Amino acid sequence: MQLRYAYRLDPTPGQRVALARAFGCARVVFNDGLRARRDAHAAGLPYICDGELSKRVITEAKKTPERVWLCEVSAVVLQQALADLNAAYRNFFASLGGKRKGPKVAAPCFRSRKDNRQAIRFSKNARFAITPGGKLRLPKIGDVAVRWSRSLPAEPSSVTVVKDAAGRYFASFVVQVGEQFLPPVEDEAGIDLGLSHFAVLSDGRKIDSPRFLRRAEKKLKRLQRALASKQPGSNNRDKARLAVARQHAKVTDARREFHHQLSTKLIRENQAIYVEDLAVKGLARTRLAKSVHDAGWSSFLGMLEYKARLYGRSVHRIDRWFPSSKLCSDRGTARQSMPLDVREWACPCGAVHDRDANAAKNILAAGRAERLNASHISGRDGASRPGGGQVRPPHQVAQPVEAGSHRGAA
């Protein structure tokens, strides 16, 4: 499988200028190609093929006085920018034709020099290299210093140089990695994700939610007020914007590190992990939106799935409408309703359940049953998901005490 390894770069002032030039040229080629295809569509002309478009916006454009400065950057950078445009159009057409699963994909849009993320990509044809001194040699840019946090497991097939909103530079290498099977273990875990606790395991363990964004809100508010008071277009406003972006980057990095550590720990300890197929986009439209985004459930589940595939483990998602919170994990009896403010409840059989711990136990039992019955299919990422289930349950009256959920939801 292919993995990305990202490292921080420390370019010199001259190299920053060269990178800015490369970002700008790649953006211009992308926009020129998009404009050519839009003009052809508006004029009723046939779709411009990839080869013809490359000839127009790169080869012939370099010969004109308006685009002669495209020769100052590596040709591979321009070709990869055009490849991104072609891929965007293919995804758009596949989405229109119903061949692409998931939400509908919009048509490609123009790139701006004010975008939060600027990126260029070098393939093997660009002949980028890692020098004996540990620097990254990029054509027409030079040898850029790299902060090597760990060594690459294999020779990279491509490298993407990224500049984020906080002004930091990164090199993202694509590396082909073989599966690294861990010794098999007997333990399995069901996980109930939440907000008061980030995760509750079927063995009773509770992982507190760090709430990185909530903890940084006080400083972010102060920085945002300072940004709002600066005059648009001034250097002080640029400095204030950079300060806000750096604070957001700290929150993102801390959340990602937490997800990595927890997902690695769970994969090492368990042979199989069962989780709910959460409707994160729907939850993010409720009054709990900020807390849902702060938790980052989708990112965490994505890490679990690719690490399970890498290390020979398995991750299974059960039906999102499975009433895990309302079922008694001892007898299987179900309650009619379970408002969110009920954190502990007693079953008629005499058992007293913690809401989240009981849900994790039910998720584990349901996941094992689905796995034995082979009622799920495998996704492209190697994770098993329920097949054929509907996106939402039949229409029912929502409870006033719940944030946009249905009466039958767990």
Q: Which of 32, 192, 305, 370 is catalytic?
A: 192
H-type alpha helices, 270-344: 280-283, 289-295, 297-311
Catalytic residue at 276?
A: yes
In the set 32, 188, 276, 305, the catalytic residue is 276
Residue 192 annotated in active site: yes
Indicate if the alpha-carbon torsion angle 346, 362, 194, 103 is positive or negative.
negative
Distance CA 315, CA 271 (A): 9
Residue 107 three-state SS? coil
DSSP annotation of 259 reads H
Q: Which of the residues 188, 305, 356, 370 is marked catalytic?
A: 356
Sheet with 314-318: strands ordered across:
206-208, 197-201, 188-193, 272-276, 314-318, 384-386, 376-378
Burial 248-268 (b: 16+ CB within 10 A, else e): beebbeebeebbeebbeebbe
Burial of 90 (0-12, 13-18, 19+ CB in 10 A): middle
Number of helices (H), then strands (E), belonging to the chain: the values are 9, 16
Question: Which residues are within 8 A (CB) of 364 and not within 5 positions of it... i.e. 6 or more apart?
Answer: 188, 189, 190, 202, 274
Beta-strand (E) ranges in 183-228?
A: 188-193, 197-201, 206-208
Give how far the C-alpha of residue 155 lies from the chain's centroid of Cα atoms, to the nearest Å: 24
Beta carbons within 10 angstroms of residue 111's beta carbon = 19
CB count in 10 Å sphere of residue 52: 12
3-state secondary structure 75-96: HHHHHHHHHHHHHHHHHHHHHH
Positions annotated as catalytic residues are: 192, 276, 356
